[in-house]
C-alpha cells in the first residue's frame, strides 16, 4: 500500500485528472485534501493550468504556400547557368586519353588485353547512353491498346 503524504496525494490527484489509474483511491485523496490546505491549493492551481492548456488551440496555416514556393524554385532553376558539357568534353577527353596512353605505355602488354575490353564496353555503353538494351518502359500485353 502506498504511503499517504502530500507528494503521493498530489501525484494521485494529477493521475485522476488525466483519466489515468491512481495509486491512491479517491476516498483517500479527498480525505487528505479536506485536512491539507497546501495540497488543496496545489490541486486547484493544477486544475486551472490544465483548463488553460486544454483551451489552447493549435494554429493551422490556412494559406497554401506551395504555389508561391514552386514559382520561386522555377525562377531559380531557370536562372541557373547551364552546365557546360562542351567545356568538359573539350578538356576531359584529351586529359583522359593522355592518362590512358601513359598508363598503357608504362605497363606490361598483358594489361592491354585486360584494358581493351573495358574500353570497348565503356564506348558501347556511352554510345547507347542510359538504355543499352533499348528496353521499352511501357510494357503492355499483346492485344491491349496503350492509352
* pLDDT tens across the length of the chain (147 residues): 567 788 888 888 888 887 788 878 888 888 888 888 888 888 888 888 888 888 888 777 677 778 888 888 777 666 666 667 777 778 888 888 888 888 777 877 776 677 778 888 888 777 766 554 555 556 555 555 555
pTM listed for this prediction? 0.36
Position 139 scores a pLDDT of 55
Between CA 28 and CA 39 the distance in angstroms is: 13
Helix (H, G, I), strand (E, B) or coil at 21: coil
Residue 141 has a pLDDT of 56
Q: Grid coordinates in use for 114?
A: 585486360
Give the pLDDT confidence score for residue 135 in this predicted structure: 55
Distance CA 123, CA 116 (A): 10
Cite the DSSP H helix spans in the chain.
6-17, 26-35, 37-55, 66-79, 85-106, 109-128
Amino acid at each position: 500500500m502506498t504511503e499517504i503524504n502530500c507528494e503521493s496525494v498530489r501525484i494521485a490527484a494529477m493521475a485522476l485528472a488525466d483519466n489515468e489509474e491512481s495509486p491512491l483511491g479517491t476516498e483517500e485523496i479527498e480525505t487528505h485534501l479536506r485536512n491539507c490546505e497546501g495540497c488543496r491549493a496545489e490541486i486547484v492551481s493544477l486544475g486551472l493550468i490544465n483548463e488553460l492548456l486544454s483551451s489552447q488551440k493549435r494554429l493551422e496555416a490556412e494559406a497554401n504556400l506551395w504555389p508561391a514556393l514552386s514559382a520561386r524554385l522555377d525562377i531559380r532553376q531557370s536562372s541557373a547557368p547551364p552546365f557546360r558539357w562542351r567545356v568538359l568534353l573539350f578538356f576531359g577527353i584529351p586529359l583522359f586519353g593522355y592518362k590512358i596512353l601513359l598508363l598503357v605505355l608504362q605497363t606490361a602488354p598483358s594489361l592491354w588485353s585486360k584494358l581493351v575490353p573495358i574500353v570497348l564496353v565503356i564506348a558501347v555503353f556511352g554510345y547507347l547512353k542510359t538504355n543499352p538494351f533499348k528496353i521499352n518502359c511501357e510494357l503492355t500485353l499483346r492485344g491491349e491498346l496503350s492509352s
